[in-house]
Structure 1
């Protein structure tokens, strides 16, 4: 184990001890956040919004494979959690634009690290799955 990995393990172990000692009135914060960003579309939508405000139809076209209904559901959940702002323009027809809030922007660095890790290790994961499924 590298020194960097050892430091990360120690930090996670301390965080775990802190969780066990904490008296949360509600759900575990980590599990709660992972429920939001761990779905199929939230990370893709957040990453797309990192480029700046975008209208609904343009966002729909830019997230490959997402349906209009699923995009609406995902955006509402992200808005509910304070990660996304929804702005309605008084035009005919009405236009709606979405953007990241400061809280949503603060999620970009951790997501970038996760994406980097995924890209670096995806081949290993695929190989492990193939070996497991034999």
Structure 2
């Protein structure tokens, strides 16, 4: 996923990029909603039925590059990898929670308006 916006012009550009990526918020919210601090790829994949494994892996790679997710590998047999949100990601989700709540509150009206 490429950076598209001019950072010199707008320092909010990285945040706008995060919000404009199709699966970024969904993946971050699913990780946040998980009852533990971290989640395995397979568990995360099961919670998002519309996403393919390839797209989920690509989205997680993007989140890693952006510093929003950490990846921890456990040296076990079989190997285990878990993902968790970084403090800046948790803070970001806390700040946009009002936008998410607004979307949930007006969901039916938004969908109806699209037809």
User: How high is the TM-score relative to the length of structure 2?
Assistant: 0.81
Structure 2: distance between partners of 1:44 and 1:66: 10
Corresponding position: 1:38 with 2:23 = no
Partner of 1:55: 40
Q: What count of residue pairs does the alignment treat as equivalent? A: 107
Q: Which stretches in structure 1 are left out of the alignment for 5+ residues? A: 1-23
Query: Would the alpha carbon gap of residues 54 and 26 (structure 1) be closer, same or farther in structure 2, given more than 3 Å must change?
Result: same
Q: 2:76 aligns with which of 91, 95, 105?
A: 91
Corresponding position: 1:115 with 2:97 = no
Q: CA deviation at 1:128?
A: 3.4
- Can you list the C-alpha shifts for 1:40-61, whole angstroms capped at 9, x where unaligned? 2111111111132001111111
More helix, by proportion: 1
Query: Would the alpha carbon gap of residues 87 and 113 (structure 1) be closer, same or farther in structure 2, given more than 3 Å must change?
Result: same
Corresponding position: 1:66 with 2:54 = no
- 4+ runs of 1 displaced by more than 3 Å? 24-27, 126-130
SS of match in other structure, 1:86: strand
Q: CA deviation at 1:119?
A: 1.4
Over the aligned positions, Cα root-mean-square deviation in angstroms equals 1.9
Structure 1: distance between partners of 2:64 and 2:11: 18
Q: CA deviation at 1:27?
A: 5.8
Within 5 Å, which residues of 2 pair with 1:2-17? Answer: none
